[in-house]
Chains A and B, each alone.
Chain A
Amino acid sequence: MIQQEIIDIVNRSLAEEFELETENMKPEAHLYKDLGLDSLDAVDMVIVLENAFGRKLRDEKAILKIQTLGDLYAFIEESRRNY
């Protein structure tokens, strides 16, 4: 079970910083195909989420596997457990 708080923070940060429409931000939404992000945005996404969650998220292997918003929520949840 992923905490609603994580979902809210991720959605709010990405909507604001990447000008995404909140109604499109569903867990199954693909970051690149559905939300129009690209590899160039990945770096800024990490920095934005680091600031939002107040911890380092620079696990490159895990980041490369993230495809959907749901993957992203799970990645943040996992990083909190390891923190």
Chain B
Amino acid sequence: MKYDFVVIGSGVSGLVSAIILSMKGNRVAIVEKAGQLAPVLKGFKRCGIYFDTGFHYTGSFARGEVLDTYFRYLGIENNLEKVVYDQDNFDTLYFPSDGFSLEFPSGYKQIRQRLHEKFPGEESAIDYYLRIVEQEFNSSPYLNLKMDSDETGFFSKYHDISLKSFLSGLTGNSRLAAVLSMHFLLYGTEPGLSSVSIHAQVAGSLYESVHGIKGGGRALAEALIRRLKELGVDVFSGRDVSRIVSSDGRFTRVLLDEGEVVEAKGCVSSINPVLLMSMVDESAFRPATRRRFNAFEHTSSAFMFSAAVDHLPPILTRKNFFLCPDLELDDYCSSERHIENRPFFIAACAQKNPDSKQGLIMLCPGSMSEVFAWQDRVPKNRPGEYLEFKQRLSQRVKEHITAHVPEIPDSLEILDCATPLTFRDYSNAPLGCLYGIKQKTGQINPSPLTKIKGLFVTGQSLAGPGILGAVVSAFLTCGFILGRENLRQEIRQCL
């Protein structure tokens, strides 16, 4: 069977790429290593409670905003029910060391006003910061579809400036700088390393509007998969790609581990770029490109604790909670920190459960080095010490969270703990990184094109992290295949 395109990986960028290519009349196959499609986005159940892994909330999803427009183009909007987050407080940042807290409201005007109230004397720094975030967000033709052309340069001023140095030029108030930088936890590159541009793409989308999806990541995965099936995309799940084959510099087929072959005219890979290099002919990338790819750092991995409570506290009702240990954000992801000194992102589960128990997740940075001893074991075959390690960690986190976040009820019961090994196993990400490669200042990310004609790359935070970043990346890559300006004009019809 010969396809027009084979897509490798069924995360958001892979699914969206398959849908776009199929909508344009191509015969498409999608290959997924896990037994089911979208294994991370789909979340999981423990003790009958559904937990989200890959998706908790998103920006720019209000009617007419960019994510909403992309979803309408894909034809999945009718199967998704938006949940508006608390407009007066979508995220709470709380510093237990001195009791400082900031409730982030939605909308630039409201954020500006809230920050002015909390940081008197810093008005000009706040205004300048918000203006640059909005300007940078809107200077991307894939985030601002109202722009007439998709012409952008490789290099922009704010791509070369780190968030930390930008903020230290604006204010000497280290708390303000920390508060404005805290959403770096949603893209995993510390403020000293990340560019103002990448920060603006993520924070800027949340400053526009904040939504969840009823049913969580699983509802989004189901909507995408339903569309995929409607379009007749063939699915090869539970199959690992062993080799991407080219001949005379042109892609020809992928080889699967059991000797199966999928032939196609083109291939879209959503595999981590560093892993991809080991699966293709050397000629696919110049030595200079290989060196650049190999120098990419992976974002931090995490520990994720899934827990049940007998009732959901108001601090988690249509809002999230950041427990912030100190102002040293550049050190937040260090594995040297005791778990009690790490930042925690706490969010409620998107599905209401029929019985009285409600679910929440608590996520903190973690490193593969902490679970190194068990890295060669497969998920179902890890020894008792690994389980004991997880139980000890869970107990400490329970004590820590209930002591420092009084609103979380004492009924908190930790049901499971995902480790960097879990993230590695489910997302096939090196070292279990949460957000693909680090988006550093001045770094030039892989282009969707490779030296092999017909082989394209997508996802992995190449364009940006999160659902929005993955969707943008898929559209960008498919634009290279189908004609960028044409595709963008078609999307603009959905505005």
Our verdict on whether A and B bind, yes or no, reads yes
Task: Name A's B-contacting residues (CB within 8 A).
Answer: 16-19, 40-41, 43-48, 56, 58, 60
Q: By the criterion CB–CB under 8 Å, are B155 and A58 in contact?
A: yes
Q: By the criterion CB–CB under 8 Å, are B449 and A40 in contact?
A: yes
Main secondary structure of the interface of A (DSSP, over half): helix
Identify 6 new A-B residue pairs, CB closer than 8 A, beyond the known A17-B291, A43-B447: A16-B287, A17-B287, A18-B287, A40-B451, A45-B288, A58-B160
| Cβ contact of A47, chosen from B153, B287, B288, B450, cutoff 8 A | B288
Q: By the criterion CB–CB under 8 Å, are B287 and A19 in contact?
A: yes
The 10 closest A-B pairs by CB, nearest first: A17-B288, A44-B288, A58-B155, A60-B153, A48-B288, A43-B444, A17-B287, A44-B289, A18-B286, A40-B449
| Cβ contact of B292, chosen from A19, A47, A58, cutoff 8 A | A47
Q: Which residue of chain A has the shortest Cβ distance to B159 in the bound complex?
A: A58
Q: Mark B439-456, 1 if CB is under 8 A from A, else 0.
A: 000001001011100000
Q: Give every chain A residue within 8 A of B286 (Cβ-Cβ).
A: 17-19, 41, 44
Whether A18 contacts B288 in the complex (CB less than 8 A), given A40-B449, A47-B444, comes out as yes
- Size class of the B contact interface (CB-based, 8 Å): 10 to 19
Q: Give every chain B residue within 8 A of A60 (Cβ-Cβ).
A: 153-155
Q: Which of B287, B288, B292, B450 has the most CB of A within 10 A?
A: B288
Q: By the criterion CB–CB under 8 Å, are A40 and B292 in contact?
A: no
Q: Give every chain B residue within 8 A of A45 (Cβ-Cβ).
A: 288
Q: Give every chain A residue within 8 A of B450 (Cβ-Cβ).
A: 40
Q: Which residue of chain B has the shortest Cβ distance to A41 in the bound complex?
A: B286
Q: Mark B155-194, 1 if CB is under 8 A from A, else 0.
A: 1000010000000000000000000000000000000000
Q: Give every chain A residue within 8 A of B288 (Cβ-Cβ).
A: 17-18, 41, 44-45, 47-48
C-alpha spacing A19/B287, complex, angstroms: 8
Q: Give every chain A residue within 8 A of B154 (Cβ-Cβ).
A: 43, 46, 58, 60
List, sorted by A's number, 19 A–B pairs whose CB atoms are closer than 8 Å. Answer: A16-B287, A17-B291, A18-B287, A19-B287, A40-B449, A40-B450, A41-B286, A43-B154, A43-B444, A44-B288, A44-B289, A45-B288, A47-B288, A47-B444, A48-B288, A56-B160, A58-B154, A58-B160, A60-B153
Q: Which residue of chain A has the shortest Cβ distance to B283 in the bound complex?
A: A19
Closest chain A CB from B289 CB (angstroms) = 5
Q: Mark B124-167, 1 if CB is under 8 A from A, else 0.
A: 00000000000000000000000000000111000010000000
Q: Give every chain A residue within 8 A of B451 (Cβ-Cβ).
A: 40
C-alpha spacing A47/B292, complex, angstroms: 9
Closest chain A CB from B452 CB (angstroms) = 11
Q: By the criterion CB–CB under 8 Å, are A40 and B447 in contact?
A: yes
Closest chain B CB from A16 CB (angstroms) = 7
Closest chain A CB from B199 CB (angstroms) = 20
Closest chain B CB from A19 CB (angstroms) = 7
Closest chain A CB from B423 CB (angstroms) = 30
C-alpha spacing A48/B291, complex, angstroms: 10
Q: Give every chain A residue within 8 A of B291 (Cβ-Cβ).
A: 17
C-alpha spacing A60/B450, complex, angstroms: 21
C-alpha spacing A60/B286, complex, angstroms: 22
Q: Give every chain B residue within 8 A of A41 (Cβ-Cβ).
A: 286, 288
C-alpha spacing A40/B449, complex, angstroms: 7
Closest chain A CB from B449 CB (angstroms) = 5
Q: Give every chain B residue within 8 A of A16 (Cβ-Cβ).
A: 287
Q: Which residue of chain B has the shortest Cβ distance to A58 in the bound complex?
A: B155
Q: Give every chain A residue within 8 A of B449 (Cβ-Cβ).
A: 40
Q: Give every chain A residue within 8 A of B292 (Cβ-Cβ).
A: 44, 47
Q: Which residue of chain B has the shortest Cβ distance to A48 in the bound complex?
A: B288
C-alpha spacing A43/B153, complex, angstroms: 11
- In chain B, residues 279-303, which have Cβ atoms closer than 8 Å to a Cβ of chain A? 286-289, 291-292
C-alpha spacing A60/B152, complex, angstroms: 11
Q: Give every chain B residue within 8 A of A17 (Cβ-Cβ).
A: 286-288, 291
C-alpha spacing A18/B153, complex, angstroms: 23
Closest chain B CB from A76 CB (angstroms) = 16
Q: Which residue of chain B has the shortest Cβ distance to A45 in the bound complex?
A: B288
C-alpha spacing A18/B292, complex, angstroms: 13
Q: Which of A41, A43, A45, A56 has the most CB of B within 10 A?
A: A43
Closest chain A CB from B441 CB (angstroms) = 12
C-alpha spacing A40/B160, complex, angstroms: 20
C-alpha spacing A58/B289, complex, angstroms: 17
C-alpha spacing A14/B291, complex, angstroms: 13
C-alpha spacing A43/B451, complex, angstroms: 13
C-alpha spacing A43/B445, complex, angstroms: 10
C-alpha spacing A44/B237, complex, angstroms: 35
